[in-house]
Amino acid sequence: MSTRFYNTINRKKVEFEPITPGTVKLYTCGPTVYDTAHIGNFRTFIFEDLLKRFLVFKGYEVYHVMNITDVDDKTIKRAITEEITINELTLKYTEEFMNDIKSLKILPADKYPRATDHIDEMIKMIQALEENGYAYETEDHSVYFRLDAYDSYGQLTQIDLTQQRVNERIINDEYSKDNPQDFALWKARDDDDGKIYWESPWGRGRPGWHIECSAMSIKYLGNHFDIHCGGVDNIFPHHENEIAQSVSATQEPFVNYWMHSEYLQIHGDKMSKTLGNYYKISDLISEGFTAEEIRFTLLNAHYRSKLDFSLKQKQEARTTIQRITDFQQRLLELKDSSETESSIPDEFEEFVAALDDDLDTPKAFAIFFGWIRSMNKLLDRGEFKFSQINGGLDFIDKFDDLFAIIPDAESIPQNIYDLIKKREKARLKQDWKTADKIRNQLYQEGWLVADSPSGPKVRSKK
Ligand code: AMP
Ligand code: ZN
């Protein structure tokens, strides 16, 4: 089945076809490491993780680059306020970010290039733009992109640059420009920058934010690659400007698919540092959330819908995950190791089709949980084949390869599984005497078994 993604540049869902069959080159805008990332940022990073896991599931080899923005206005200001070097500041928050990524089971990128390690590449790109007539130097020795020279500006955002509203957003810049809409490629050092600057053909200064992503994505993924992601606030001006610079510098197409995730909100407002309405991952852990519960909460809406966060969502996540683990446990206990055949349920195909349709997680979850309900009914009635048990376990494994929301199971030794399975068979035949005998035997071995509507639950006595 073909995969369709909503491509921001087309304003609709389109069939996904990578440039090189079998391989996907993916660039995701990474964190600005001037502070701890909040769960709004992680909504976007977890959406990107789902996208990547899905592409891997579809059989693609994914080469993923996520940049670390370690120089911009915010990092410079913060380092100066805290009286530490920019490197000390950004290393601290990069390390925190990497720990959060790991604890949230986000698959690591193949490369995490830091902007400050790529100043040379950025300078070369700006020089190429100057040579092609797309950039000019101002009196203060900053360099700007000349929007008038690039006819296709606004394709991603579908904006009309004559609109006053847009002009006002871009005009907010302190440098002298030929046209207020031109944006900075290189910013000349000013007194507020202290000792934070790099040498360049235009004198001391630092790169603009947009050129960072153009230079690093092109260096690691080539001039033309498959997918570029971020949150919707990256669409304009960041991604629009990336396209303008990259296409003008290389004279080649830049990115085929632009995918953006919607905001995580609090009481209807975007979660952001500026508004101060945010939670960090560590805040949620202190509130008792597990990594899996955080993942479920952030994935429990379509990535293109706004999602309102509240601490109350922990309970919903907990109950939902418990429903899966209880069911998984029930299947494991019924599993017969002599049965090797696995019949994957029909619902699996529908589940994949939902994800093929622009990662429709709400639909995929509804199919998955509907399947669990109907399987539980079959198991209650004893009307199942062992190949269905194997198929069911395979479905759960595949589900978790994609969403990573099932906690690592308590490891139950094989002899205990065998006993539980024997007991379950006795119960199905209403042989209560044997069932009780096995329960006692399990107790002697250090395991407690409790029967529930969704089957027996086992845990160690410790
Ligand atoms: P930043 O560290 O500000 O560069 O942001 C890192 C990523 O988080 C970017 O892709 C942003 O678009 C995304 N982001 C920021 N705030 C939110 C939010 N409230 N909800 C979803 N994504 C966000
Ligand atoms: Zn970026």
Atom of ligand 1 nearest to the CA of 28: 10
Helices (H), 58-204: 73-82, 86-103, 119-131, 164-171
Close Cβ partners of 117 (under 8 Å, ≥ 6 residues apart):
none
Q: What is the largest CA-CA distance in the chain?
A: 93
- CA 456 – ligand 1 centroid, Å: 43
Euclidean distance between the first and the last CA atom of the chain, given in angstroms as a whole number: 48
Three-state SS annotation for 284-302? HHHCCCCHHHHHHHHHCCC
User: Is 241:212 a contact under the CB 8 Å cutoff?
Assistant: no
Atom of ligand 1 nearest to the CA of 234: 12
Distance from C-alpha of 99 to C-alpha of 2, rounded to nearest angstrom: 35
340-353 residues labelled b (16+ CB within 10 A) or e (exposed): eeeeebebbebbbe
Ligand 1 binding pocket (C-beta < 6 A) is 29, 31-32, 40-41, 43-44, 69, 230-231, 233-234, 261, 263-264, 270-272
Which uninterrupted H or E stretch holds 40?
helix 39-57
- CA 59 – ligand 1 centroid, Å: 29
- CA 24 – ligand 2 centroid, Å: 18
- CA 88 – ligand 2 centroid, Å: 22
Atom of ligand 1 nearest to the CA of 263: 20
- CA 307 – ligand 2 centroid, Å: 22
Which uninterrupted H or E stretch holds 242?
helix 240-250
Residues facing 458 on adjacent strands: 449
- CA 322 – ligand 1 centroid, Å: 30
Task: Give CA angle at 300 (297, 303), nearest 5°.
Answer: 115
Ligand nearest to the CA of 37: 1
Which uninterrupted H or E stretch holds 265?
strand 264-266
- Output the residue whose Cα is nearest ligand 1's atom 7: 41
Nearest to 8 by CA among 303, 412, 440: 303
- CA 238 – ligand 2 centroid, Å: 7
User: Is 261:229 a contact under the CB 8 Å cutoff?
Assistant: yes
- CA 135 – ligand 1 centroid, Å: 29
* For ligand 1, mutation pick of 35, 41, 70, 97 (most atoms within 8 Å of CB): 41
Distance from C-alpha of 122 to C-alpha of 119, rounded to nearest angstrom: 5
Instruction: List pLDDT tens digits, range 301-357.
Output: 999 999 999 999 999 999 999 999 999 989 988 888 788 899 999 999 999 999 999
Structure tokens at 218: 């092109």
* For ligand 1, mutation pick of 73, 97, 233, 259 (most atoms within 8 Å of CB): 233
Distance from C-alpha of 211 to C-alpha of 72, rounded to nearest angstrom: 11
Atom of ligand 1 nearest to the CA of 41: 8
Ligand nearest to the CA of 228: 2
Beta-sheet strand order (sheet of 61-66): 61-66, 23-28, 225-231, 255-261
- CA 341 – ligand 2 centroid, Å: 47
Helices (H), 343-385: 346-356, 361-381
Q: What's the pLDDT score for residue 444?
A: 87
Distance from C-alpha of 136 to C-alpha of 177, rounded to nearest angstrom: 9
* For ligand 1, mutation pick of 28, 39, 44, 242 (most atoms within 8 Å of CB): 44
- Output the residue whose Cα is nearest ligand 1's atom 15: 41
Q: Give every residue of the chain whose pLDDT is below 50, as ranges.
A: 164-165, 168-175
Q: What is the dihedral of CA 219, 230, 126, 90, to 10 degrees?
A: -80
Q: What's the pLDDT score for residue 165?
A: 46
- CA 284 – ligand 2 centroid, Å: 27
Q: What's the pLDDT score for residue 390?
A: 94
Structure tokens at 35: 């502070």
pTM of the model: 0.88
Residues in the chain: 462
Distance from C-alpha of 16 to C-alpha of 358, rounded to nearest angstrom: 10
Nearest to 86 by CA among 66, 115, 113, 111: 115
Positive/negative CA dihedral, 76, 82, 87, 93: negative
Distance from C-alpha of 431 to C-alpha of 254, rounded to nearest angstrom: 68
SS3 235: helix
Phi/psi at 226 (nearest 5 deg)?
Answer: -85, -60
- Output the residue whose Cα is nearest ligand 1's atom 23: 41
Atom of ligand 1 nearest to the CA of 265: 19
